[in-house]
Amino acid sequence: MVNAYLLGLASVATFSIEGVEAHWTPERKGYKVCAEKGIKLYEARTDGHMYLNSNGKTKAILEVKPVVRAELPRVMMQEVAQLAAWIHAEKDVIQDENLAEQWFRRLLWSMNRHELYIIIAEYIGDYVDYLTNPRRKAEGESFMTMNQFGPWDIRSSSQVAEFAAILLAVTLPFSKNLPLI
């Protein structure tokens, strides 16, 4: 199981910390993107995810590949497809009619061979509408921005410790059902 390292690291970094209510699982969660009449367009599967005990809601997804990231741009395309499918399946709550004013973020933890990455996807309410409303009247172009941080090398104990600290720092607010800042 290729994802065992990343899931193990995430679990060890967060398991014994008081107040952490989020848990990591190797469940290959699938997100379907369907057309209006329920016709499946595609399905994206994760290599694991972090969910909240209180409501089972996914707060982060994992993607693991046995190759170096720079050698395979298709990995990034797959990650974009996974995030779009996740947004489509588990829609953000839009509070305002002005879709361009509401910002959302989703988190993807990625491991490519010996390198760890954090990807924060940012998008506005109009992007959610773009993904979920085929009859929408577009007011402009909607995009998702993928912000990539890393790599952290798993062969360096100091880099792994830094990555684990970031992982814990993100998991604690999620445990309180707070949004990704």
Tokens of 125: 């309410």
Domain ranges of the chain: 4-175
Alpha helices in 62-156 (DSSP H): 73-89, 125-132
pLDDT in tens, 115-150: 999 999 999 998 998 888 877 776 667 899 999 999
According to DSSP, the residues that pair with 109 across neighbouring strands are: 62, 118
CA–CA distances in Å: residue 22 to residues 40, 124, 167: 30, 25, 12
The pLDDT value recorded for residue 23 is 87
Residue-wise pLDDT for 61-86, tens only, equals 999 998 888 766 888 899 999 999 99
Query: Which residue blocks in 58-124 are alpha helix, DSSP H?
Result: 73-89
Q: What one-character DSSP code corresponds to residue 70?
A: G
The pTM (predicted TM-score) of the whole model is 0.90
User: Tens digit of pLDDT for each residue in 9-29?
Assistant: 998 888 888 888 888 999 999
pLDDT of 170 strictly over 80: yes
